[in-house]
Amino acid sequence: AAPDLQEIHDFLITLAKQAGQLITSARPSIGSTDTKKNCKSFSFCFPKHPKPSLSHTYLTKPPTTASDLVTETDKAVEALISTALSSKYPTYSFLGEESYEPGLRLTAAPTFVVDPIDGTTNFVHGYPYVSTSLAFVQDYTPLVGVVYNPFSGLLYHGVKGRGSFLTTALPAGSPVPEVTRRLPLRPPELLESVDKALICVEWGNEREGPNWEAKIQTFAALASAQAGMAHSLRSLGSAALNLCSVAAGELDAYWEGGCWAWDVAAGWVILDEAGGSMVGANRGEWEVPVDGRRYLAVRAGSDESQKKAFIEQFWGFVKG
Ligand code: IPD
């Protein structure tokens, strides 16, 4: 039977709120973190590519910095979610950040793609820009997305073909009723040019080598005092929430190389349904797979052709 997307959407929201309770009641300490394992398998997404800009060889070696953090709460939240999903949907696959093993790939099968805590570094430091990101993906297409920040109570959610929404979801027992608004939050203005844009970038976890150089040169090009520079850059620490802010129309674009399918799959649906677009981080990559790891997300514009022109102009800033 075809998956019941609305039922999945509703169930993922229930799970996101349960995850939120675990996250907000945890007391992580910087000393109790561990470094992650994602970098172990660079072959997960990247065949060798002759020209590394933001490259297909991204993360070609084990991490040399302690910037890729994981906590006991990341693991506990993923266990909660995977147990609930496998009991309700035993035939569907599961791809989660914490249970990921090198070699695992997204397939065409119906799959839940889960990041229990997106923004682990923020979580550890008490910076409340943290989310649980839950997606349902089939045939490599994100179909349902739920992204919940339990600290702010902002719940972003969407189903392919049915729109995306922001619900202010306060903790259980709150006297304030939930309010839901459709995304984007205001009618999209013309996406004119990079020099009028507020752009999100991320530092990522790899802090040396050709990809790092490509990134910082791109940041400098976007920010420096030259013709066409952006209004400003932001770096907030949760890919899923960044995508939701682009969907909402609060950010004009978000550019990153190095994040994973579980960081973007849910936000992707929310962005698409809000009229935004996800393309590759490098020039000419109009199509990017969910596990493509190098993305440029752009908000809805009032005009599709102008949005395309904005994307092409943006790619002109990408160095490497
Ligand atoms: C990270 C965040 C961060 C992004 C990294 C991701 P995590 O996810 O989304 O914003 O720059 O690439 O790995 O590790 O906190 O789940």
The structural domains of the chain, with segments of one domain joined by +, span 5-182, 194-315
pLDDT tens track for 9-44 = 999 999 999 999 999 999 887 776 777 655 433 322
Q: Which atom, in ligand 1's list, is nearest to the CA of 258? A: 12
Chain centroid to Cα 214, Å, comes to 20
Q: Are 38 and 46 in contact (CB under 8 A)?
A: no
Residue closest via CA to ligand 1's atom 6 equals 259
Lowest-confidence pick of 16-30, 233-247, 286-300:
16-30
Number of residues that make up the chain: 320
The percent of residues in the chain predicted with pLDDT above 70, rounded, is 88
Contacts of 245 (CB under 8 A, 6+ apart): 200, 236, 251, 254
pLDDT at 66: 55
Probe residue for ligand 1, chosen from 118, 132, 246 as the CB with the greatest number of ligand atoms within 8 Å: 118
Lowest-confidence pick of 41-55, 178-192, 296-310:
41-55
pLDDT tens track for 161-175 = 999 999 997 777 778
- The CATH code of domain 5-182 reads 3.30.540.10
pLDDT at 67: 67
- Comparing CA positions, the residue from 146, 189, 137, 187 lying closest to residue 166 is 146
pLDDT at 52: 34
Lowest-confidence pick of 9-23, 47-61, 198-212:
47-61
| pLDDT band with cut points at 50, 70 and 90 for residue 90 | very high
State if residue 118 touches ligand 1 by the CB under 6 angstroms criterion: yes
pLDDT at 28: 84
Lowest-confidence pick of 59-68, 96-105, 140-149:
59-68
Domain 194-315 fold? D-Maltodextrin-Binding Protein; domain 2 (3.40.190)
Asked if residue 250 has pLDDT above 80, the reply is yes
φ, ψ at 38 (rounded to 5°):
-55, -35
Mean pLDDT for all residues in the chain = 88
Beta-sheet strand order (sheet of 179-182): 93-96, 111-118, 131-138, 141-149, 154-159, 164-168, 179-182
State if residue 263 touches ligand 1 by the CB under 6 angstroms criterion: yes
Residue closest via CA to ligand 1's atom 2 equals 238
CA gyration radius, the chain = 18
Q: Are 24 and 77 in contact (CB under 8 A)?
A: no
Helix (H) / strand (E) containing 253: strand 253-257
Asked if residue 56 has pLDDT above 50, the reply is no
| pLDDT band with cut points at 50, 70 and 90 for residue 226 | confident
State if residue 69 touches ligand 1 by the CB under 6 angstroms criterion: no
| pLDDT band with cut points at 50, 70 and 90 for residue 192 | confident
Q: Which atom, in ligand 1's list, is nearest to the CA of 36? A: 14
| pLDDT band with cut points at 50, 70 and 90 for residue 54 | very low
Residue type, 215: K
Asked if residue 53 has pLDDT above 90, the reply is no
